[in-house]
Structure 1
Amino acid sequence: MKTTIHLILVCMGLFAHAFAQQPKPAVEIIAGGTAAQGYDIQDSVLIKTREGMQLSAMVVRKKGAGKPQPAALFFTIYANHDGNLAEAKRSADHGYIGVVVNSRGKALSPDEINPYEKESTDVNGAVDWASKHPWTDGRVAIYGGSYSGFSAWAATKHLHPALKTIVPYVAAIPGFGLPMENNVFLNANYGWGFYVSNNKYLDEHLYYDQQHWRNMQFNWYNSGVAYRKIDSIEGRPNPLLQRWIQHPSYDQYWQDMVPWQEEFAKINIPVLSVTGYYDDGQISALRYFKEHYKYNKQADHYLIIGPYDHFGAQKGGVPILRDYKVDQIALINTAQITYDWLDYVLKAGPKPALLKDKINYQVMGANRWKHAPSIEKMSNQVLRLYLSTEKSGENQLLLPKKPGQPAFSPQKVDLADRQHSNNNNYYPYPIVGNELDRSTGLYFISAPFDEQVSIDGIWSGILKAGINKKDMDIGMTLFEVMPNGERFHLSYFLGRASYAKDMTRRSLLKEGTINSIPFSSTRMFSRYLSKGSRLLLVLDINKNPFAQINYGTGRDVSDESIADAKVPLNIKWYNDSYIDIPVWKY
């Protein structure tokens, strides 16, 4: 069984009511302050909102700044005095009023800690207050990664007129990236609620006890108890998780947290998004981008994406990422690009040089950046490959022509088996390697490419399957097999079949018939493939300690247990299933 666990720190958020604009100030200041050489600092500010709540904040400007300046707002649940002060000082150093505001209940706020649940109200209250601060000129920008990136999007659900731009990095969509991905609840940030809510700052001692969380996941997996009872295995109630699992669909609860559908049409401010091919929450960051353009054809939204993980995207990458030597040209300075962007929007400065088109992406292996006006224009051809039943050694073939005769590949999964796990190859660690766990799943390989190409964009497809149950959780992993035999992890997909057509409404599979299961929420990547490289697709059922286990009864998956696994899951994967690969032919 694969045992590598990567603890994903992707910030989530829950939202409530909109900020209702009023002619009077939405907040009052209860201020305290300190002095530091070179800076005017207010590090003990309490922002009192119209709802009567208080938010802890810091405000910093350079001494002698003279005339009022725009505010650069960083909204975060990660309350840390020194770290937050350093963030505010950095903005001051770049010619802005540095404003850091902590989530309700954190730091000096006397209120109850409620991760995510009031962010759209509270972030807008912070924007309103910052725009009226005597040091500012009335204009506000929001920037930052992870929770702060999410907070920036929260503010746009009901856009405040003082908010002029946002720069979100690796921004999550609650209910879409974490705590569940494509409607499958994940265990990666199970302890996050304790981390941010056990005290006014951060419970680092508990959260960074990786052995504790690892043991919890394996103990739950081996016990076979229902997912709803996972906190009984860990040993303490997890109210945040229990609240989340009441909403397995992307329903109104989640939709109220960030812009939803037509609300994107009203977002008319410039946006710069940053994410990475190996950012665990990439599908969220890209969904913001796609939905913005879907509902607002005139959106002014730029994207930077390259070979970065969740943390690397926030600083601009690292030379070696999970055993992959990153192209030198991919290493950027995210902070500098952020302030250059703010200068461009707020001070009529030049546009950051990297932003040559709406999508700016680094081609792994080519040591170059490419630029495109849309996701569709990243490629000039779509390569459709069918999951055939024809064998080639230990693999089956990915064929460019639809098979003439219907056939299927059988798979049997014992959901009660705890000696083995499934979908063990999905996580991209390492990115480059030789080892592959072939104990479960089906393996499909393409013919070698007869010319140099790059794969640029988001892969998708349709699976055709018959099963003896009502649901299943599907895992797919896409590799490049290089001419030297090494495998390069390109992308992966995890999703619940019953939500494949609509993440807001469950539609159970039908037994005894062929079900069509579309998928598109995969991870974008760009990779140069040399002549002789091949594609390898691994198809499996997700059953491991790192996510909810779908036993296929059709009931709420959180209520299912190993008692529902008496009959193995039998699948027929039909050979008219296919994947679409976006290719750039030179």
Structure 2
Amino acid sequence: MKKLRMMALLCLYFPCLSYAQDHMIQDSVMIKTPQGHTLSAVVVRKSGALKPQPTALMFFMYANTAQSIREAKYAADRGYVGVVADTRGKRLSPDTVAPYENEVVDVNAVISWIIQQPWSNGAVGMYGGSYSGFAQWAALKNPHPALKTIVPYVAAIPGQGLPMENGIFLNANYQWAFYVTNNKYVDNGVNNDHARWRKMRAEWYRTGAAYNKIDSIDGTKNPWLQKWLSHPSYDSYWQAMVPYGKDYANINIPVLSITGYYDDGQISALQYLKDHYQYNPKAEHYLIIGPYDHFGAQKGGNPLLYGYQVDPIALIKTREITFDWLDYILKGGSKPSILKDKINYQVMGANEWQHAPSIAAMSDKRLKFYLSRKKEDNNYLMSTTLPSKNGYHEQIVDLADRHTTNNDYYPDPIIKEELDRENGLFFITPPFEQDMSVNGFFSGNLIASINKRDMDIGVVLYELTPEGKYFQLSYFLGRASYLKDATKRHLLTPNKKEKLLFEKTRMVSRQLRKGSRLVVVLNIDKNPFAQINYGTGKDVSKETIRDATSPLQIKWFEESYIEIPIKGKTP
């Protein structure tokens, strides 16, 4: 009788409340923002929770009531009020959805609503992956005093990881705008129509049409793509969506980031971390990273990843770690045991976790390898001593050619029996004389001259194992004209020797055995999976195959070098 009276009282104050087993569930909560918009949310509490509690908040683009209830129930079972709020325009919201554009104000509006509720103790922690990871950082553009911590997994940065990477628009996520804006939930039919998107990419590549006409080839207008293409630099449009520059100095709450070596969006997830420490050296920002892809990192990994059998110790439980962290910050619990230091990384091939106070401290030194012209079989040898400054490798790429593609960089499978040698330049180190590990981000300084005004560069890093297999470690993909400054394009001067420094590669940790070698593949990006840069200096999205004119001619000078972060004895 006492429980029934309590339920009746709750229903008086919360008309959308339902009682399911041990949980009080509100699945149709409507939240008014100060700007006059309406968001929907799911709120779940444990039935016996009578005192105010901290809130575990997820901000969610992929509206699904049943999934949101499951997520919020898990939080309630861990001693929180579980709240899953939908992006403006999704689920029950009557407004229009605008991906990435409103989260800075909307997430904080939800937090303000939460702390006004009688069940809130005034403390909020956020968590979640990909878009939900982005939403957490969006909230920190203007930090809310009630937001005490965030746990972003594989967090996206619009404009830096998608829809473009290092200045190059990618096709991998082309259908995403339709997927999340076609209706109030998600359009699985369009998202899973892989044949349609393969056909579109192939036809666009075959015809050499301008990139901004790719939706015409598909037959359906993509207004979001067109809007994004009007911002090819990381300009104020993108900068307004997440913290930028000195904004990070104001972020003083603890952060736990989780991502993977093979997460497509890793450069975004780790850019947040690098910027946070750059502008706030005393930041309490922890990282967990291992052999995970974009979806694997959000659950803790898969035993088999793109053909690679991961070390057993690499498999973790992301959600459990998340709520252990929330307990640590919001309830005075113990820090998750995996967090031995700020940077916590699984060393592939060693079946162990290692820990460092910073990314730089992951390695003992950086080995510098120059791109010499000395040959060994079908490779060029990389040298630790500076070769001639006047020597160079010549590469010619016919940008009008549609019979071949350039730059096979995607790590699927991770382990290859042989590399595609139809094009590109291949460089190899001498065999390592001791066991050691590659830990961190590789980088480079490419000294080059070209006959055009721009080019898109691909650099792929492999381990050649003693057994003769190629284990992909990391890669770089980027536009030469954005290497100096992502916010402003700096075109190259034809036939002028230029320094092209790059560092936004993917972090990796891999144990190398004695006898292993490193292989670097240097190429130009030309394939159906991204914009094609014809080098005229015009807006790349407006260039067509008619702009190819003469082939791209590159001189890669021998003084170019690649730097590899190494831990352990070196040769």
- Matched with 1:519 is 502
Residue 448 of structure 1 pairs with residue 431 of structure 2: yes
Give the drift of 1:30: 9.2
Residue 228 of structure 1 pairs with residue 212 of structure 2: yes
- Matched with 1:188 is 172
Which amino acid in structure 1 is aligned with residue 507 of structure 2? M
Give the drift of 1:585: 1.1
Give the drift of 1:33: 2.9
Aligned counterparts of 1:113 and 1:264: Cα–Cα separation in 2: 27
- Matched with 2:474 is 491
For the 8 Å contact 1:323–1:430, the answer to whether it is kept is yes
For the 8 Å contact 2:388–2:559, the answer to whether it is kept is no
1:466-488: CA deviation from partner (whole Å, max 9, x where unpaired): 10000000001000000010110
Match runs of 1:498-513 below 5 Å? 498-513=481-496
1:325-358: CA deviation from partner (whole Å, max 9, x where unpaired): 1001110000000000000001100100000100
- Matched with 1:128 is 112
Match of residue 532, structure 1, among 515, 539, 548: 515
Aligned counterparts of 1:32 and 1:244: Cα–Cα separation in 2: 39
- Matched with 2:102 is 118
For the 8 Å contact 2:389–2:559, the answer to whether it is kept is no
- Matched with 1:16 is none
Give the drift of 1:34: 2.4
- Matched with 2:394 is 410
Match of residue 431, structure 1, among 398, 409, 414: 414
Match of residue 300, structure 2, among 301, 316, 328: 316
Give the drift of 1:404: 3.6
Match of residue 255, structure 1, among 217, 239, 244: 239
Match runs of 1:145-224 below 5 Å? 145-224=129-208
- Matched with 1:480 is 463
Decide whether aligned partners of structure 1 residues 31 and 420 sit closer, same or farther in structure 2, where only a CA change above 3 A counts: farther
CA RMSD of aligned residues (A): 1.0
Give the drift of 1:405: 5.1
- Matched with 1:396 is 380
- Matched with 2:556 is 573
Residue 361 of structure 1 pairs with residue 348 of structure 2: no
For the 8 Å contact 2:475–2:505, the answer to whether it is kept is yes
- Matched with 1:109 is 93
TM-score when scaled to structure 2?
Answer: 0.97
- Matched with 2:4 is none
For the 8 Å contact 1:33–1:45, the answer to whether it is kept is no
Aligned counterparts of 2:80 and 2:14: Cα–Cα separation in 1: 22
Residue 95 of structure 1 pairs with residue 79 of structure 2: yes
Give the drift of 1:390: 1.0
1:156-205: CA deviation from partner (whole Å, max 9, x where unpaired): 00001110000000001000000000000000110000000000001001
For the 8 Å contact 1:443–1:537, the answer to whether it is kept is yes
Residue 80 of structure 1 pairs with residue 64 of structure 2: yes
1:10-44: CA deviation from partner (whole Å, max 9, x where unpaired): xxxxxxxxxxxxxxxxxxx9962322111011100
Which amino acid in structure 2 is aligned with residue 39 of structure 1? H
Aligned counterparts of 1:310 and 1:109: Cα–Cα separation in 2: 28
Which amino acid in structure 2 is aligned with residue 551 of structure 1? Y
For the 8 Å contact 1:30–1:45, the answer to whether it is kept is no
Aligned counterparts of 2:240 and 2:389: Cα–Cα separation in 1: 47
SS in 1 for 2:115: helix
Aligned counterparts of 1:506 and 1:31: Cα–Cα separation in 2: 55
Aligned counterparts of 1:176 and 1:545: Cα–Cα separation in 2: 20
Match of residue 51, structure 2, among 28, 46, 67: 67
Aligned counterparts of 2:248 and 2:383: Cα–Cα separation in 1: 39
For the 8 Å contact 1:165–1:271, the answer to whether it is kept is yes
For the 8 Å contact 1:30–1:47, the answer to whether it is kept is no
For the 8 Å contact 1:31–1:44, the answer to whether it is kept is no
Aligned counterparts of 2:342 and 2:262: Cα–Cα separation in 1: 20
- Matched with 2:452 is 469
Residue 371 of structure 1 pairs with residue 350 of structure 2: no
For the 8 Å contact 1:154–1:259, the answer to whether it is kept is yes
Aligned counterparts of 2:158 and 2:537: Cα–Cα separation in 1: 24
Aligned counterparts of 2:553 and 2:203: Cα–Cα separation in 1: 26
Deviates more, 1:403-412 or 1:71-80: 403-412
Which amino acid in structure 2 is aligned with residue 252 of structure 1? S
Q: Percent identity?
A: 61
Aligned counterparts of 2:112 and 2:312: Cα–Cα separation in 1: 41
TM-score when scaled to structure 1?
Answer: 0.94
- Matched with 1:551 is 534
Which amino acid in structure 1 is aligned with residue 75 of structure 2? S
1:97-132: CA deviation from partner (whole Å, max 9, x where unpaired): 000000001000011111111011101101111122
Aligned counterparts of 1:153 and 1:35: Cα–Cα separation in 2: 34
Aligned counterparts of 1:522 and 1:263: Cα–Cα separation in 2: 24
Which amino acid in structure 1 is aligned with residue 532 of structure 2? I
Which amino acid in structure 2 is aligned with residue 508 of structure 1? L
Give the drift of 1:66: 2.2
Match of residue 386, structure 1, among 350, 359, 370: 370
- Matched with 1:326 is 310
SS in 1 for 2:69: helix
Which amino acid in structure 1 is aligned with residue 429 of structure 2? S
- Matched with 1:541 is 524
Unaligned runs of 5+ in 1: 1-28
Give the drift of 1:82: 0.8
SS in 2 for 1:132: coil
Residue 459 of structure 1 pairs with residue 442 of structure 2: yes
Aligned counterparts of 1:521 and 1:216: Cα–Cα separation in 2: 29
- Matched with 1:18 is none
1:289-325: CA deviation from partner (whole Å, max 9, x where unpaired): 0100000011010000000000010000011101111
SS in 1 for 2:353: strand
For the 8 Å contact 1:387–1:399, the answer to whether it is kept is yes
Unaligned runs of 5+ in 2: 1-12
For the 8 Å contact 2:265–2:294, the answer to whether it is kept is yes
Aligned residues: 557
Which amino acid in structure 2 is aligned with residue 486 of structure 1? K
